[in-house]
């Protein structure tokens, strides 16, 4: 059974991996997603509790399918 904090950390790591594959800084990702840079940092560290809506918005801003981020 997974702990939600572990899931958030894994999602954050997946976002970081995909962002770096695209050679984007956190600032560039934040601009694409129309969120603050601090928010991206919290997401990538697994500190931000994400809604499904926000996961979809963030993955769309990177041009990724949602399963790329939710794939553990």
Ordered domains of the chain (ranges, CATH):
4-70 (1.10.260.40)
Q: Can you tell me the distance from the alpha carbon of 45 to that of 38, in angstroms, rounded to the nearest whole number?
A: 11
* pLDDT bracket for residue 72 (50, 70, 90): confident
pLDDT of residue 2 exceeding 90, the answer is no
pTM (2 d.p.): 0.94
Residue 1 pLDDT > 80, yes or no? no
Residues 21-67: pLDDT tens digits?
A: 999 999 999 999 999 999 999 999 999 999 999 999 999 999 999 99
Residue 35, CA distances (Å) to 7, 28, 29, 40, 71 in order: 21, 10, 9, 8, 23
CB 58, CB 23: distance < 8 Å: no
Burial environment of residue 31 by CB neighbours within 10 A (0 to 12, 13 to 18, 19 or more): middle
């Amino acid at each position: 059974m997974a702990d939600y904090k572990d899931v958030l950390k894994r999602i954050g790591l997946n976002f970081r991996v995909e962002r770096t594959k695209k050679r984007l800084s956190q600032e560039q990702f934040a601009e694409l997603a129309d969120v603050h840079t601090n928010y991206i940092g919290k997401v990538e560290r697994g500190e931000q509790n994400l809604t499904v809506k926000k996961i979809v918005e963030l993955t769309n801003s990177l041009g990724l399918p949602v399963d790329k981020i939710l794939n553990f």
